[in-house]
């Protein structure tokens, strides 16, 4: 089964239309990967769908890097009893 990191990178690649191999944990979604406002919303929505979780809007949108997203999603999955 793919790890949280792999799944986050796969969703990010799909939404932002980039190669997942080029995505690094320290990449900033906006500055490095070029996410625009609506894409940030789409990323959060796709993460929710991928992991079957619900995230707090303000907290989720304040996540800036891929690595932070991995940690944040893992934490939410744990809180909501979702195995990853």
Partner 1 sequence: MNKAKKRHPLVDAKKPNLLEDTYPYSLPPLIRFEGPVVENIDGKAVEFDFGAVKDRNILISDTTFRDGQQARPPYTIDQMVHIYDLLSRLSGPNGVIRQTEFFLYTKNDRETLDKCRSLGHKYPECTGWIRAIKGDFRLVKEAGLKETGMLTSCSDYHIFQKLKFRSRAECMDSYCEVVEAAFEAGVRPRCHLEDLTRADIDGFVLPFVERLMEMSSQVPEELTAKIRLCDTMGFGISYPGAELPRSIPKLIYKLNQECGVPSDRLEWHGHNDFHKVHTNGGTAWLYGCDVVNTTLFGFGERTGNPPLESAIFEYIALKGGLCEIDTMVITELADYMRSIGLPIPDNYPFVGRSFNTTRAGIHADGLRRDEQIYNIFDTEKLLARPPRVAITDKSGTDGVVHWINEFFGLKGEERINKIKIHKIARWVIDQYDEHGRLTAISDQELEAKVKELMPDYWAKYKAS
Binding site for partner 1 (CB under 8 A): 37-38, 41-42, 44-45, 48, 55, 57, 60-61
Q: How far is the CB of 73 from partner 1 (least distance, A)?
A: 14
**Distance (Å, whole) CA 5 – CA 84:** 10
Closest to partner 1 by CB, 1 or 38: 38
- DSSP per-residue letters across 14-58: HHHT--GGG--TT-BTTTTT---HHHHHHHHHHHHHHHT----HH
Closest to partner 1 by CB, 25 or 45: 45
Closest to partner 1 by CB, 1 or 37: 37
Using the 8-state DSSP alphabet, how is residue 80 labeled?
Answer: T
């Amino acid at each position: 089964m793919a790890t949280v990191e792999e799944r986050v990178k796969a969703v990010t690649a799909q939404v932002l239309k980039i190669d997942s191999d080029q995505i690094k944990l320290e990449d900033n979604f906006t500055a490095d990967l070029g996410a625009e406002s609506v894409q940030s919303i789409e990323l959060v929505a796709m993460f929710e769908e991928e992991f079957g979780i619900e995230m707090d809007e303000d907290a989720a949108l304040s996540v800036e890097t891929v690595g932070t997203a991995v940690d944040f999603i893992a934490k939410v999955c744990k809180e909501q009893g979702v195995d990853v």
